[in-house]
A and B are shown apart, each in its own frame.
Chain A
Amino acid sequence: MTARPEPEVATLPPVDDRERPRIASSTITTVIIFVLTAALIVGSRAISPAFGSWSQLETILYLSTFLVIVSFGQGLVILVRGLDLSIASVITLGGVLTTGWLNGSNEYAWALLPAVLLICAFVGALSGVGVTFLKIPPFIMTLATGIIVYSLSLGFTAGTPRGYAPPVLVDFMHARWLGVPAPILFLLVFVVAAVLVQSWSVLGRRLYAVGNNPAAAYVAGLRTRGLTISAYAVSAACAGLTGMMLAGYSDGATLRMGDDYLLPSVAAVVIGGSSILGGHGSFIGTVGGAILLTTLGTILAALGIEEGWKTIIEGGVILTALILLREQFYEALRVQFGKGRTE
């Protein structure tokens, strides 16, 4: 260990960057992501004329619906300085319960579908309670709830999920309204509502406050624990909804149906410019991240690239996004080449 002659302390005067630069940088991030996505779609025309068409765009938006919904919940949990690793299992739970309870009939769908969402939300609330009251790291808590829920789904289905989604759900997932697939319209409504909730509602602003500084939020009179728990509950409900929609989409459930959404949901939030440390980021950025990832996945799948390469590119995109889109990167550059200050 080399002793440093000068201790590293902040020597620069504190700059008040609470307002302007943060909004500016997140807006820039969001714009970059959407431009990148558009460029990817248009550019893919060079590979094959089937790409870049309206119908391909429709497919991408349709497929991104699932990831966008999951990522909204993940984003809220990350906003309050957490991480939800139970998402994959809760998606499975949502799908398995939907097909297991309704089994291809519409009977009681009006009651059972909300009940499925409530159960999922309850699972999320349990994670939230563990994180807030028992002070278990979110990472461990949600990993634990995830494995418990998965194991229960395994037991519930005795290893092989049977049954079909209710026709009402299957019809919805395959309907076209106003010439557009119904799920895409649903996606639009969902995004608008989610933006309103996250950025404009009292609840949303409070979640930002908790994420920015839990101690300050508590002193300011916010019920930080309740707010944190609600973020986990919403996240699980979103995952449950995704599981339900996936069950309607493929008219059945599998035990591994959620696996493809866990890591991409974290990636979408991070690529979308939210800080994994919590406290800031916008849902529109996350939507961009989710659509970008889906576009990438669709194009890679169409190219017939090996599974290994697809995975490598996915990881590479996440790492590149982390390095390029983070304020810490500029901070690090400053540390490396500047006056050597750490914080």
Chain B
Amino acid sequence: MTPIRSLFSSGAVLIAIVYLVLFAIYAIAQPSALSAFSIQALLNNSLPLMLAAAGQTFVVLQGGFDLSVAGVISLANVVVAVYPMEGPGGALVNLLMVCAIGLAVGATNGLLVAYLRIQSIAATLGTMIVCQGIALLILKAPGGHVADWMSYELTDSLFRVFPVTALIAIVVCLLWLVFRRMNVGIALYAVGRDETSAALSGIDVRRVRFTGFCIAGVLYGAAAYMLAAQTATGNPTAGEPFLLLTFAAVALGGTSFSGGSGGVIGSVIGAATLMLMQKVLFSTGISSFYTGVFQGIVMVLAVLFAAAVLHLSQRGRASA
């Protein structure tokens, strides 16, 4: 396959084009969308979903589903709001706390799915419910207070030009590019494509799956952290909307739900597209009651789109 062709059959590039088109529509409908403030607000809104979708990708790539994303985000969000720590040092401690929570839940999922061989939907359903329960124990109703340093600095711009949130998204994408070239990254794709072949080629399937769930958990924790920084408050049900949206973002980004193809960058742009779409729908004045109809339809279309892209790229590979 020629490089150009491989570029266009990649879900990430296609969704990036969709994003640009959508953004153009938005900018035409609402010229103020191009102001630095507006762009930064959009990025700030999108980052939690971007991180959560990036995490979900690590599980979808291995052919699984991770429902615990909703539980981890609720739990980590509440923890940050109930134990706020001031200053940059405090923010770091808070970040370590949410990552530890995500890692613990991810490791539990990994243990259940990879080692006890429980279907990922069922196992993560259980861990999600437990996490939601713990979140409710820590904070019964929305409230709490997020450290000022976090809510100001992390939603601000570096040198008044470059939004911090964009920097974080770029760093995640760069880390992903490194990861997918590492042995474990390649193994993750192999396991998603064909578990038996991967095992026969000497890949420790269980460890690869386990690692995938752990990374996913840490990213959910980071998503909750950024959500807290943005909303400056805690909510024990903060994670629930993410359940639907992360899957939609992953699907939009061109990652196949049967596993083994796709990637984090597509999911990140997919997440950004979903958030942009909400803005566009809002600006067109469609009754907010019916936005769900569009979200549902877009999700189905996204999966069909991703399947078609995969089909075309495979046909291209076969003929090359």
Contact = CB atoms under 8 A, between A and B. Distances in A.
Contacts of A266: 122, 125
A188 interface: no
Contacts of B183: 1
Nearest to B132: A311
Interface in A294-343: 306-316, 318-319, 322-323, 326, 328-329, 331-332, 335-336, 342-343
Nearest to A10: B196
Contact of B293 (A143, A148, A263): A148
Nearest to A314: B129
Nearest to B302: A140
Interface in B296-314: 296-297, 299-300, 303-304, 307
B204 interface: yes
Contacts of B202: 1, 3-4, 7
A183 to B, nearest CB: 27
B18 interface: no
Interface residues of B, number: 57
Of B119, B184, B201, B257, chain A has the most CB atoms within 10 Å of the CB of: B119
A208 interface: no
Interface stretch (A51-59, A66-74, A97-105, A152-160): A152-160
Interface stretch (B31-39, B49-57, B148-156, B284-292): B284-292
Contacts of B251: 140
B127 A315 contact: yes
B203 interface: yes
B119 A277 contact: yes
B117 A331 contact: yes
A310 to B, nearest CB: 7
A200 interface: no
B244 to A, nearest CB: 6
A151 B137 CA distance: 30
B119 A136 contact: no
A150 interface: yes
A151 B289 contact: yes
A268 interface: no
B289 A276 contact: no
Interface in A104-138: 130, 134-137
A143 B296 CA distance: 8
Given A147-B292, A276-B122, A311-B136, A316 B130 contact: yes
A4 B290 CA distance: 54
A139 interface: yes
B118 interface: yes
B242 interface: no
A130 to B, nearest CB: 6
Contact of B204 (A1, A277, A313, A326): A1
B292 A150 contact: yes
A7 B136 CA distance: 46
Contacts of A306: 136-137, 140
Contacts of B296: 143-148, 151
Contact of B117 (A9, A152, A270, A328): A328
A8 B116 CA distance: 17
A307 B140 contact: yes
Nearest to B116: A332
Nearest to B251: A140
Interface in A275-305: 276-277
A136 B304 contact: yes
B284 to A, nearest CB: 16
Given A1-B187, A155-B290, A136 B303 contact: yes
Given A143-B244, A145-B296, A150-B292, A322 B122 contact: yes
Nearest to A148: B296
A133 B31 CA distance: 42
Given A83-B121, A306-B136, A154 B127 contact: no
B83 interface: no
A2 interface: yes
A171 B79 CA distance: 48
Nearest to A333: B116
B112 interface: yes
Nearest to B300: A144
A267 interface: yes
Nearest to A259: B240
Nearest to B129: A315
A244 interface: no
A336 B115 CA distance: 8
Given A318-B126, A326-B118, 20 more contacts: A1-B203, A7-B199, A9-B200, A135-B307, A136-B300, A140-B303, A144-B295, A144-B296, A144-B299, A150-B292, A263-B125, A277-B119, A307-B133, A307-B136, A308-B137, A308-B138, A312-B133, A312-B137, A322-B126, A332-B115
Interface of A: 1-4, 7-9, 83, 130, 134-137, 139-141, 143-148, 150-152, 154-155, 158-159, 263, 266-267, 270, 276-277, 306-316, 318-319, 322-323, 326, 328-329, 331-332, 335-336, 342-343
Interface of B: 65, 112, 115-119, 121-123, 125-138, 140, 183-184, 187, 196, 199-205, 207-208, 244, 247, 251, 257-258, 287, 289-293, 295-297, 299-300, 303-304, 307
22 contacts: A1-B187, A2-B204, A3-B202, A4-B204, A134-B300, A135-B307, A139-B65, A139-B257, A140-B300, A152-B293, A154-B289, A154-B290, A154-B292, A276-B122, A312-B129, A312-B134, A313-B133, A314-B133, A315-B127, A315-B128, A319-B112, A342-B199
The 6 closest A-B pairs by CB, nearest first: A151-B292, A311-B133, A315-B129, A312-B133, A308-B137, A308-B136
